[in-house]
């Protein structure tokens, strides 16, 4: 094969268009996998969480999806703990089973749920899971606990 040369490849306009269409199709397919909420998930930053805490309302449920040991080490005030890995399908349980498994009253479908974790990964997944159980007023704090602490947010233990 030494000294062999490759023949130049010529693509027709139709072939290029077909490849481009295929790539666009794949992009559309995979983007829906990365956002199962189809853009309905609201993102809340540090200031938004502060506003929620400064005007407490039973309308909001702040849910920390970190593990129980992380939660006990410190959490955002008024948050409840629903560890994502220990109970990913908890919001799909009936009210009695939910309370027995998680330890607090199951939020109603009308309440606003704000999810956070350590850095935003588990909370995004938990928020998407909440949508799959019929919750529509769902928010994620992408910076999560790390962002909260770095901004000097008040914590509880």
Mean pLDDT rounded to a whole number for the chain: 86
Stretch 39-54: mean pLDDT: 92
- DSSP bridge partners of 113: 61, 138
What was the pLDDT predicted at 142?
A: 95
In a 13 Å sphere around the CA of 154, the CA atoms on its Cβ side amount to: 8
Stretch 58-62: mean pLDDT: 95
- 124-152 pLDDT per residue, tens: 999 999 999 999 999 999 999 999 999 99
Stretch 35-55: mean pLDDT: 85
Helix (H) or strand (E) holding 42, with range, is: strand 42-43
What was the pLDDT predicted at 147?
A: 97
- 8-41 pLDDT per residue, tens: 667 677 777 667 666 665 555 444 445 555 667 8
Q: Based on the residue annotation, tell me whether 117 is a catalytic residue of this protein.
A: yes
CATH of domain 42-150: 3.40.250.10
- The DSSP 8-state label assigned to residue 120 in this structure reads S
Q: How confident is the model at residue 6 (pLDDT cuts 50, 70, 90)?
A: low
What was the pLDDT predicted at 30?
A: 46
* Distance, CA of 43 to chain centre: 9
What was the pLDDT predicted at 153?
A: 96
Instruction: Give the gyration radius of the chain's Cα atoms.
Output: 22
What was the pLDDT predicted at 33?
A: 45
Query: Which one, of 74, 68, 62, 32, lies nearest residue 126 by Cα?
Result: 62
Residue in 113, 114, 117, 128 annotated catalytic: 117
1 pLDDT above the threshold of 50:
yes
């Amino acid at each position: 094969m030494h000294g062999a040369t490759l023949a130049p490849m010529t693509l027709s306009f139709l072939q290029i268009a077909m490849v481009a269409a295929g790539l666009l199709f794949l992009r559309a397919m995979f983007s829906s996998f990365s956002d199962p909420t189809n853009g309905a998930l609201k993102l809340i930053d540090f200031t938004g969480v502060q506003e929620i805490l400064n005007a407490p309302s039973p309308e909001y449920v702040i849910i920390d999806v970190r593990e129980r040991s992380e939660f006990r080490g410190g959490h955002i005030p008024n948050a409840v703990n629903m560890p994502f890995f220990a109970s990913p399908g908890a919001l799909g349980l009936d009210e009695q089973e939910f309370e027995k498994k998680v330890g607090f009253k199951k939020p109603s479908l009308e309440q606003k749920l704000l999810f956070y974790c350590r850095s935003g990964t588990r909370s995004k997944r938990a928020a998407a899971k909440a949508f799959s159980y019929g919750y529509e007023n769902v928010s994620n704090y992408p910076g999560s606990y790390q962002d909260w602490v770095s901004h000097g947010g008040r914590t509880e233990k």
